[in-house]
Structure 1
């Protein structure tokens, strides 16, 4: 797991649920890069994604 993924896990632990835009802002990366990191964490089985009313929410498993 890289440093960005560790920061994402820490952010989700703190906030409970985050959006891709919040992750991008926290890491100071583009939205697309944040999505890439989030999808890597899904593949690793660390987080899950929920789509609600046109918004994608990310939370720990």
Structure 2
């Protein structure tokens, strides 16, 4: 993941505490798939936690 997109994603998570891929995509002007990919990469890096709920996946900082 690019450093700039990582910084933007983490900044939004710090501000909002919880975010969905759709919200991130809308705020950063990227596709849902791109936002989801960035968030999954942050999960792999151990910076973000993925919480699956019925009908939605939430993302929070660890």
Fold in common (TM above 0.5):
yes
Unaligned runs of 5+ in 1: none
Report the count of equivalent residues. 61
Residue in 2 that maps onto 1:31? 32
- List gaps (5 residues or longer) in structure 2: none
Q: Deviations over 1:6-58 (max 9, x none)?
A: 11111011001000000101110000011110111011100000011210000
Distance, in Å, in 1 between the alignment partners of 2:52 and 2:41 is 17
What is the match of residue 22 of structure 2?
21
- In the TM superposition, structure 1's runs of 4+ consecutive aligned residues that sit over 6 Å from their partners are none
Give the TM-score of the pair, scaled to structure 2.
0.92
Is 1:49 matched up with 2:50?
yes
Secondary structure of the residue that 2:46 maps to in structure 1? Answer: coil
Per the normalisation by structure 1, the TM-score is 0.94
